[in-house]
Structure 1
Amino acid sequence: MNEIQELRGVVAELSRKVRALEDQAEIAQLVAQYGPAVDSGSGEAAADLWTDDGAFDVVGHFRMQGHEDISGMVHGDGHQHLIRNGCAHVLTVPHIEVDGDRATGRNYALNIRWDPEADRFRVARVSANAWRWKRTAQGWRVVERVNANLDGSPEHRRLLAPPADRASD
């Protein structure tokens, strides 16, 4: 192999690695935008994180499909009550596995609420999340987020398992 071929190989490998890092960073930023969007009451900004027909399943509570449902949840009375009383949706950095123009991931979400009687915050909910993302013309977007309370249920804990382990159950 001559030096030019070797250099081309190095450049191709570096390009592949840079693309992978860019994908990981963009998806992580997408997830990081969720909490501030919903906690500020910006339903459209929250909904825009999803594909047009994307789904958000809050297991045991409700399932939203599409931008209108997701935006409507943020603008709804229940969510507005939470944020008026002091609430933070805190998502941990997701573990992300990219496969071309698709990706999967998992992380934790904490719902932290202000308790005025105790003059402190309390963790009201800890949940597992399983994500599916895809690359669109607008960048990476959420195809599906499944969010389930970590209440001891094996099926909810399973959301945190690597995708290969979840598929074998």
Structure 2
Amino acid sequence: MLDIQEISDRLEIQELLVAYATAIDSQDFDALDQIFTDDAYIDYTTFGGIAGVRAEMKQFLASSMAQFTACQHLIANPEIRFDGDRATGRVMCLNTLVFPVKDGDPRIALLGMWYIDEYTRTPEGWRISRRSQERSWTQGLGDLAEHTR
């Protein structure tokens, strides 16, 4: 049975996950300062991105995401395990990326993945301290590789 503190912690982390998806989809990369710890390590190499700390990732995302006309992160099934002021998580994500129209047809890449996370409780609340991706499936990824390098 969950106690009130664990219920509160779970809800706060789930809100953090929604805030991440919203920040990325709206290209508000400064919002990541409220989502990740200052020293967070983020690894997006699974799909051809980079790995690095928050500041490096913000620059990479601003550059690479500008090439898409839209993106949408659908997150679900968060598995969160607590250990005091730390937690780990595995969160399912369907990431849809829309490329500029070419020859009258929209081009879309679909990425099925899980985020593998570590969370830390800070004085400001829970933050992601480490994030990587685990690939499940993709469609249209060839177009993505062209645009992220």
Using the size of structure 1 for normalisation, the TM-score is 0.69
Q: Which residue of 2 aligns with 1:70?
A: 57
> 1 or 2, which has the higher strand percentage?
2
Calculate the aligned-residue CA RMSD, in Å.
Answer: 2.4
What is the CA-CA distance between 1:123 and the residue it aligns to? 5.5
Q: SS state of the match for residue 25, structure 1? A: helix
Q: Which residue of 2 aligns with 1:101?
A: 85
Q: Which residue of 2 aligns with 1:143?
A: 129
Q: 1:31 and 1:106 mapped to 2: Cα distance?
A: 11
Q: 1:108 and 1:57 mapped to 2: Cα distance?
A: 16
Q: 2:33 and 2:43 mapped to 1: Cα distance?
A: 14
What is the CA-CA distance between 1:70 and the residue it aligns to? 2.5
What is the CA-CA distance between 1:87 and the residue it aligns to? 1.4
What is the CA-CA distance between 1:145 and the residue it aligns to? 0.7
Superposition map of 1:31-70 within 5 A: 31-60=17-46, 61=48, 62-65=50-53, 67-70=54-57
> Contact 1:134/1:143 (CA < 8 Å) preserved in 2?
yes
Q: Name the count of aligned residue pairs.
A: 133
Q: Which residue of 2 aligns with 1:29?
A: 15
Q: Which residue of 2 aligns with 1:79?
A: 65
> 1 or 2, which has the higher helix percentage?
1
For the pair 1:130 / 2:110, whether they are aligned, the reply is no
> Contact 1:135/1:141 (CA < 8 Å) preserved in 2?
yes
What is the CA-CA distance between 1:49 and the residue it aligns to? 0.7
Q: Could you list the runs of 4 or more consecutive aligned residues of structure 1 that deviate by over 6 angstroms after TM superposition?
A: none
Larger relative CO (CA 8 A, sep 6+): 1 or 2?
A: 2
Q: Which residue of 2 aligns with 1:112?
A: 96
> Contact 2:75/2:94 (CA < 8 Å) preserved in 1?
yes
Identity %: 25
> Contact 1:28/1:93 (CA < 8 Å) preserved in 2?
no
Larger radius of gyration: 1
